[in-house]
Amino acid sequence: MSKVCLNGYREYYSDTTTPMNNLEQFREQTRAWLEDNCPSSMRTSTPDGEVIWGGRKQTWLNPDSKLWLERMAERGWTVPRWPTKYGGGGLNADQDKILMEEMRAINARSPLQSFGIWMLGPALLEFASDEQKKHYLPQIARGEIRWCQGYSEPNYGSDLAGLQTKAEDMGDYYLVNGAKIWTSYADEADWIFCLVRTDLDAPKHEGISFLLFDMDSEGVSTSPIPLISGASPFCQTFFDDVKVPKHQLVGELNNGWTIAKRLLQHERQMISGIGGNSALGGTGIKLEDLAKQCLGEENGRIADPTLRQDICEHRMNDLAFQLTMSRSGEEAKSGNLDANLASIFKYYGTEQNKRKYERMLNLMGTQMLGWGGDTFSTKELANTRQWLRSKANSIEGGTSEVQLNVISKRVLGLPD
Ligand SMILES: Cc1cc2nc3c(=O)[nH]c(=O)nc-3n(C[C@H](O)[C@H](O)[C@H](O)COP(=O)(O)OP(=O)(O)OC[C@H]3O[C@@H](n4cnc5c(N)ncnc54)[C@H](O)[C@@H]3O)c2cc1C
Q: Higher pLDDT residue, 353 or 332? A: 353
Pocket test for ligand 1, best of 399, 407, 409, 416 (most atoms within 8 A of CB): 399
pLDDT confidence of residue 153: 98
pTM given for the model: 0.91
- Assign residue 353 the CATH number of its domain: 1.20.140.10
Question: Which pLDDT belongs to residue 48?
Answer: 77
- Asked whether residue 42 is domain-assigned, the answer is yes
Q: Identify the domain boundary among 234, 260, 286.
A: 260
191 and 95: one domain?
no
CATH code of residue 131 = 1.10.540.10
Nearest CA to ligand 1 atom 13: 182
pLDDT at residue 331 greater than cutoff 70? yes
Residues 69, 160 within the same domain: no
Decide if 394 is inside a domain.
yes
User: With 60 as the cut, is the pLDDT of residue 284 above it?
Assistant: no
Pocket test for ligand 1, best of 155, 346, 396, 400 (most atoms within 8 A of CB): 396
By alpha-carbon position, which residue is closest to atom 50 of ligand 1? 396
Q: What is the pLDDT of residues 158-211, one digit of tens each?
A: 999 999 999 999 999 999 999 999 999 999 999 999 999 999 999 999 999 999
Ligand 1 centroid vs 158 CA: distance in angstroms? 5
Distance (Å) from CA 180 to ligand 1 centroid: 12
For residues 23 and 87, membership in a common domain is answered with yes
- pLDDT of 235-245, one tens digit each? 999 999 999 99
Q: Look at residue 11 and tell me whether its pLDDT is greater than 50.
A: no
| Nearest ligand 1 atom, CA 154 | 26
Q: Are 45 and 103 in a shared domain?
A: yes
Distance 26 CA to ligand 1 centre (A): 43
Asked whether residue 6 is assigned to any structural domain, the reply reads no
Instruction: Map the chain to HEC letters.
Output: CCECCCCCCCHHHCCCCCCHHHHHHHHHHHHHHHHHHCCHHHCCCCCHHHCCCCCCCCCCCCHHHHHHHHHHHHCCCCCCCCCHHHCCCCCCHHHHHHHHHHHHHCCCCCCCCCHHHHHHHHHHHHHCCHHHHHHHHHHHHCCCCCEEEECCECCECCCHHHCCCEEEECCCEEEEEEEEEEEECCCCCCEEEEEEECCCCCCHHHCEEEEEEECCCCCEEEEEECCCCCCCCEEEEEEEEEEEEHHHEECCCCEHHHHHHHHHHHHHHHHHHHHCCCECCCCCCEHHHHHHHHHCEECCEECCHHHHHHHHHHHHHHHHHHHHHHHHHHHHHCCCCECCHHHHHHHHHHHHHHHHHHHHHHHHHHHHCCCCCCCCCHHHHHHHHHHHHHHHHHCCCCCHHHHHHHHHHHHCCCCC
Residue 20: pLDDT above 90? no
**Do both 282 and 404 map to the same domain?**
yes
> Do 98 and 223 have their domain in common?
no
3 in a structural domain: no
Closest ligand 1 atom to the C-alpha of 180? 11
375 occurs within a structural domain:
yes
pLDDT band at residue 297 under the 50/70/90 scheme = low
Q: Which domain holds residue 243?
A: 147-260
Ligand 1 atom nearest the C-alpha of 184 is 8
Q: Are residues 195 and 162 in the same domain?
A: yes
Residue 369 lies in a domain: yes
Same domain, 286 and 386: yes
Ligand 1 binding pocket, CB closer than 6 Å: 148-152, 157-158, 180, 182-184, 234, 392, 395-399, 401-402, 405
Are 82 and 175 contained in the same domain? no
The reply to whether 199 and 294 lie within a common domain is no
Determine the average pLDDT of the residues in 349-356.
92
Please tell me the predicted confidence (pLDDT) of residue 298: 59
Number of domains making up the chain: 3
Q: What is the pLDDT of residue 285?
A: 64
Domain for residue 265, yes or no? no
Share of the chain above pLDDT 70, in %: 91
CATH number at residue 160: 2.40.110.10
Same domain, 43 and 131: yes
